Structure 1
Amino acid sequence: MIVLLQKVSNAVDWLITRLVFLLIIALIIVISLQIVSRIFFSAFSWTEELSRYLLVWSTFLGASMAYKRKSHIAVTFAADLLRGLAKTITRWIVNLLTVAFLAVAIYYSVKMISLQVFQVSPALGISMSHVYISLPLGFTAMFIHALSMMAEELFPGREVRS
C-alpha cells in the first residue's frame, strides 16, 4: 500500500511538473504577444486575462510540486530543537493538520466551482469554473503527496525512488 501511494505521488508529480512547464511556456508566449501587440498594433483584449488564468493554474499546480519537494516555507525552529520520539510526533501532528486542512480546502474549492459554473470571463468568454478547477487539482495533488510523506515516516525504508 505504501509503495502504491508513493508511486501515485510520483506519477502525479511527474504529470504536474510537465503541465506546469507547458503552462509557463504558454504564459511567456501570451505575455510576449501582449507586449508585441502593444508596440506594433492595438493590444489584444484577451491576452491579459489569459495570462492571469495561466498564472493561477501554474501557481496552484506549482504549489503541489513545491510541497512534494518540501520546498515550502516552514517555521521549524521549535521542531529542530526536538529529538527522537518528540520530533517524530511533532512531524506527525503537522502532517495530520496538513492533511485535514487540504481535505477542507478540497471540499470548499469544489463547492466554489459549482458556484462559478455560470459566471463567464469577460474577454475569453469561458466559464470561470475552468479557472477555479485548478484549486481542487492542486490541493488534491498536495493531499496525495502528504499521505505519501506520512506513509514514508510511518514505515521508513520502504521508499520508492522517483
Structure 2
Amino acid sequence: MQLAKQIWRKINNFVVLIERWALIILFVGMILCGVLQIVARFILHMPIPWSEELLTYSFVWTSFLGASLAVNSLSHFNVDCLVVRLPAWLSFPLLYMVWIVMVLFTIFLFYKGVILTNVNIWQTMDVLPLSMMWAYLALPVSAAFMFIHSVERLLTGDFLPVVQK
C-alpha cells in the first residue's frame, strides 16, 4: 500500500507540474493576445478576427485546469459548519465519503466530456481553422486530472483542512 501511495503521489505531482506550466503558458498567451487585440483594434484600426475566439477558448481551458489545480490544493470553497462540530472519529469518515463522491463525479465528468468531445470532432470553430474538439477537450482532461488529485487525497487521507488529524 505504501508503494501505491508513493507512485500515486509521483503521478499527482507530475500532473500538478503539467497543470502549472499549462496555466502559465495559457495566461501569458492570453495576455499577449489581448494586448495584440487592443493594439490592432484601437491603434491600427484593423481588428484581428481570430483573437477573440482564441481568448475565449484559452479562458475555458484556464478555468478547467485552474479548477483541477484547486482540487489538488484544497482551494475550493467548502461549507464546514457541520464538519468542525463533529468529533474527529465521525468527521474523518464523512470527509472520506465526500472524496469518494468526488472521485465518482470526476469519472462521470470524464465520461460525459469524452462523449461531448467526440460529438464535436467535425464541427469547426467560427474563425479559427480548428476542430471544436480542442475546446471541449478541456472537460475530460481536467476531469482526469481531478480524478488523479482526488484519488491521491483518498490514499493519503490528506483532505482535512479544518479537522484535526
* TM-score of the aligned structures, taking structure 2 as reference length: 0.91
Name the structure 1 match of 2:144: 140
Name the structure 1 match of 2:118: 114
For the pair 1:23 / 2:26, whether they are aligned, the reply is yes
Aligned residues: 154
Name the structure 2 match of 1:100: 104
For the pair 1:38 / 2:36, whether they are aligned, the reply is no
Secondary structure of 1:77's counterpart equals coil
What is the CA deviation profile of residues 116-143 of structure 1, one whole-angstrom value per residue up to 9, with x for unaligned ones? 0011001102100011111111111010
Higher relative contact order (CA 8 A, sep 6+): 1
Mapped partners of 1:151, 1:32: distance in 2? 44
**Partner amino acid, structure 1, of 2:58:** L
For the pair 1:11 / 2:11, whether they are aligned, the reply is no
Mapped partners of 1:34, 1:4: distance in 2? 44
Identity %: 28
For residue 14 of structure 1, report the CA deviation from its aligned partner.
1.1
For residue 55 of structure 1, report the CA deviation from its aligned partner.
0.5
User: Unpaired segments of 5 or more residues in structure 2?
Assistant: 159-165
**Partner amino acid, structure 2, of 1:2:** K
**Partner amino acid, structure 1, of 2:40:** S
For residue 84 of structure 1, report the CA deviation from its aligned partner.
1.9
For the pair 1:84 / 2:79, whether they are aligned, the reply is no
The runs of at least 4 consecutive aligned structure 1 residues that moved more than 2 Å come to none
Mapped partners of 1:80, 1:125: distance in 2? 52
Secondary structure of 1:123's counterpart equals coil
**Partner amino acid, structure 2, of 1:10:** N
For the pair 1:67 / 2:71, whether they are aligned, the reply is yes
1:39-58 to structure 2, matched below 5 A, reads 39-41=42-44, 42-58=46-62
What is the CA deviation profile of residues 47-89 of structure 1, one whole-angstrom value per residue up to 9, with x for unaligned ones? 0000001101111111111111100111111111112220111
Mapped partners of 1:70, 1:139: distance in 2? 16
* TM-score of the aligned structures, taking structure 1 as reference length: 0.92
